[in-house]
Amino acid sequence: ETGVTQSPTHLIKTRGQQVTLRCSSQSGHNTVSWYQQALGQGPQFIFQYYREEENGRGNFPPRFSGLQFPNYSSELNVNALELDDSALYLCASSLDLAGVPKNIQYFGAGTRLSVL
Amino acid sequence: QKEVEQDPGPLSVPEGAIVSLNCTYSNSAFQYFMWYRQYSRKGPELLMYTYSSGNKEDGRFTAQVDKSSKYISLFIRDSQPSDSATYLCAMSPDNYGQNFVFGPGTRLSVLP
């Protein structure tokens, strides 16, 4: 186990609704990244948070937003849900520290979101 | 052409076999290469992390990178049923942890 925990495990929403997903990073890790993994595909980078600020963003619309809290935990919010948002949402934590490769990320088990 | 392509699988092998998993890519800027293992209903787990071309060995796993051919491989020796999972390659042009591109994954089954 990586020590990265996500909640809830599963979620069912209807089109147009809003959803909030939560992530607790591994102890001591100060950077959190979020990914979307569609069925049969590899994860796609949504955004990354460091020191409570968005620190980089992939090709996702503004209705995908996030927060990071002082304890480094994080939320992913998705507004105006669309059917194509159905996917596994993964959170990964890493340590932003000199000499530590930032590409070394530890993933949680994910939240499976179904949009009907 | 997708930026990262991976043998689609699924791949079934007998226990003890040597497994070869492969990815090709089109972006010559990629410098960092990773292999992840993802069990069903779990998140990806980092297996191997390499920089630039060359080989890296860790136990039963060997990662190879050939940047001139834009081709990377993961070899698993003495495969075990516990190796049954989806294997994802990932690559990045930098070490900022933001610009990963993952392959779609290859599902591997190791039969006892």
Whether B67 and B52 have beta carbons less than 8 Å apart is answered as yes
pLDDT tens for each residue of A62-108: 999 999 999 889 999 999 999 999 999 999 998 877 777 778 899 99
Nearest to A37 by CA among A103, A108, A87: A87
Nearest to B21 by CA among B69, B65, B76: B76
| Residue B9 token pair | 């699988």
Sheet holding B71-76, edge to edge: B4-6, B19-25, B71-76, B61-66, B54-58
pLDDT tens for each residue of B27-48: 999 999 999 999 998 999 999 9
Task: Give the A-side interface with B, CB within 8 Å.
Answer: 2, 4, 31, 33, 40-45, 48, 55-56, 58, 90, 92, 94, 101-110
Q: Report how far Cα B76 is from the mean position of its chain's Cα atoms.
A: 10
Sole residue written with tokens 């909640």: A7
Q: Report how far Cα B112 is from the mean position of its chain's Cα atoms.
A: 22
Sole residue written with tokens 């990178």: B65
Choose, out of A103, A105, A111, the residue to mutate when testing the contact with B (most B CBs < 10 Å). A103
Q: Which residue of A has its CA nearest to B90?
A: A42
Find chain A residues with C-beta within 8 A of B63's C-beta: none
Find chain B residues with C-beta within 8 A of A66's C-beta: none
